[in-house]
Amino acid sequence: MSVPQQDLEILARAVLDRLEAVEPPCVRRLLLAQLNVVAKLLQLEASGADELAAETGVVALVEECRDGRLRELDADRGLGTLGIEWQEVVLRVAHRLAQDRRAATCRCSRCGASTYEVTHRGGRRRPPGRHFRRIGTGDLYRARRCSACGLVQPPHGR
């Protein structure tokens, strides 16, 4: 990964960390929604993206995180960080949030560990536990089991 890409990743992580620290959670959700809307407008190359980002504070958030990052860097590396546009950071943050949402669909609701699919062939009997779901018309049942705590959950997508 090149140095500008590393700096972009570090800035995106700083923005995500800053958003996670916002209290109360309803304000955090609002900021995340605003950031996602600005990112969508940037992807569509809409004309009002810059104004909306300035009004909602997205630009100020990115610049605040950039200032924090610049305090840690020397002059040469700081120039590279200054060359990253706020639009790139917003798009990268939105991409990371989308990845996290996709990855969260296969996480345990109790402990957050990854889950794996469990298949049970019934033999004309329903498997123990109410979380198994019948797949098709045969005697095949599926569920998701946590790799850490063993919690059995219904399969996703139903």
Residue range 30-39, pLDDT digits in tens: 999 999 999 9
Residue 158 has pLDDT above 50, yes or no: no
Q: How far apart are the C-alpha atoms of 36 and 93, rounded to whole Å?
A: 9
CA 130/CA 137 separation, integer angstroms = 18
Residue 140, phi then psi, degrees to nearest 5: -110, 125
Residue of 99, 69, 71 whose CA lies nearest to 6: 69
More confident residue, 157 or 119: 119
Asked if residue 132 has pLDDT above 90, the reply is no
Q: Are 80 and 33 in contact (CB under 8 A)?
A: no
Considering 50-59, 73-82, 96-105, 108-117, the range whose residues carry the highest mean pLDDT is 50-59
Distance CA 80, CA 67 (A): 13
Q: How far apart are CA 36 and CA 18, in angstroms?
A: 15
Mapped onto helix, strand or coil, the DSSP state of residue 84 is coil
**Mean pLDDT score across all residues of the chain:** 85
Tokens of 99: 């990845």
